[in-house]
Amino acid sequence: MSTVLYDTPGPRGILRNRILTFVFAVALLAGLYFAYVKFDEKGQFDAALWEPFLQGDVWVNLIIPGLVNTLSAAAVAALIAVPFGFVFGIARLSEHKWIRVPAGAVVEFFRAIPLLIMIFFAQYGGSAVLGLTVTSFTAVVFGLVLYNGSVLAEIVRAGIQSLPRGQTEAALAVGLRKGQVMRLILLPQAVTAMMPAIVSQLIVLLKDTALGFIVAFEDLLNAGARILPANFRNLIPAVIVVAIIYIIINVLVGLLANWLERRSRRSRKTTIKPIEAPQSVGVG
């Protein structure tokens, strides 16, 4: 069906799209083949470089512990960032200026700062300025919460504002207080629309744990791009394996998100469409 941004193509448009798809597919395959040939010339596909991944101790002592640290940091950060996003997203919609303005300043400030700087400051700044001993895990979680929580706050604000204003007016007309309108009318509907964008941002959060390398966080990327190559001199194979693991995790999270969205839409009717995650101001 036609939409505001996209018209259903006619016969010529369909033919053009198929031709472009074919050309792109051929170019992609050619690029992959070129990369394969170049890697093969450098001996990156020699069996000796891939043998470490057939050893159980490599997985038990390096890859799996790194994966556990990655998932742990992402899980803890997500559990804090989501409530952070809801609190500040709702606060940005407050009619009280003394609540709305500070909440907006916090959100915009932490969205504008690169995540790498926040992680670095959390560890080294906390030690130099406050005299605290900040672990790499804490520093990574700190940065992930502030940055992704601020982006989630914008998602929450956009999701609530996308609801028809008439619903708020009708709820107030029947005697509901503003807090009840938000809790009983707006949030239950907005969550359905926000679900794809929230999960998308949580996937970004998971991948951003890799930035913990600046504070020597022992995550999956550290195991695959530092420790393994240092011992077996197989940087390219190690990075490929790590990338595949990241892809599998993100695909599983995406499938879970689609299932949750379908289930939510079956159990709750809503008049709004899913929203997209806002673009961040700084470099994550």
The CATH number covering residue 262 comes to: 1.10.3720.10
- What is residue 1's predicted lDDT score, i.e. its pLDDT? 44
Q: 129 lies in a domain?
A: yes
Residues 6+ apart with CB under 8 A from 43: 49
Same domain, 26 and 57: no
Most confident option among 35-49, 70-84, 129-143, 185-199? 70-84
d(Cα 245, Cα 241) in Å, to the nearest integer?
6
Q: How many domains does the chain have?
A: 2
Instruction: Identify the residue with better confidence: 3 or 57.
Output: 57
Q: Give the mean model confidence (pLDDT) for residues 235-253.
A: 89
Quote the pLDDT of residue 196: 79
73 belongs to a structural domain: yes
Verify that 153 and 60 share a domain, yes or no. Answer: yes
Highest mean pLDDT among 1-10, 24-33, 155-164: 24-33
Residue 113 and residue 253 share a domain: yes
**Does position 40 have pLDDT exceeding 70, yes or no?**
yes
96-148 tens-digit pLDDT? 899 999 999 999 999 999 999 999 888 888 777 777 788 999 999 999 999 99
Q: What was the pLDDT predicted at 144?
A: 95
Residue with tokens 């033919």: 15
Token pair 């394969």 is found at: 36
What is the domain extent for residue 6?
1-42
Residues 160, 85: one domain? yes
Looking at the fold, whether 86 and 7 belong to one and the same domain comes out as: no
E strands, 98-227, are none
Do 95 and 69 lie in one domain? The reply is: yes
Write down the pLDDT at residue 169.
74
Burial of 145 (0-12, 13-18, 19+ CB in 10 A): buried
- Residue 30 domain-assigned? yes
In a domain, 279, yes or no: no
Residues in the chain: 284
Report the pLDDT value the prediction gives residue 79, as an integer from 0 to 100: 95
The conformation of residue 218, written as its DSSP 8-state character, comes to -
| pLDDT given at position 4 | 43
In a domain, residue 16? The reply is yes
Same domain, 251 and 187: yes
C-alpha to C-alpha distance for 152 and 199, rounded to whole angstroms: 10
Task: Please tell me whether residues 3 and 63 are part of one structural domain.
Answer: no
- For residues 9 and 28, membership in a common domain is answered with yes
Task: Tell me the pLDDT band of 5, cut-offs 50, 70 and 90.
Answer: very low
Q: Report which of residues 10 and 37 the model is more confident about.
A: 37
Query: Based on the domain organization, do 54 and 181 belong to the same domain?
Result: yes
Q: Residue 159: its pLDDT value, please?
A: 86
Is the domain of 124 the same as that of 23?
A: no
Residue 284 lies in a domain: no
Q: Is residue 249 part of a domain?
A: yes
Task: Give me the pLDDT at residue 280, please.
Answer: 53
The alpha carbons of the chain give a radius of gyration, in whole angstroms, of: 23
Residue 205 lies in a domain: yes
Q: Count other Cβ atoms within 10 Å, centred on residue 147.
A: 29
Which carries the bigger pLDDT value, residue 61 or residue 265? 61
113 three-class SS: coil
Q: Are residues 27 and 65 in the same domain?
A: no
Token output for 145:
């919460």
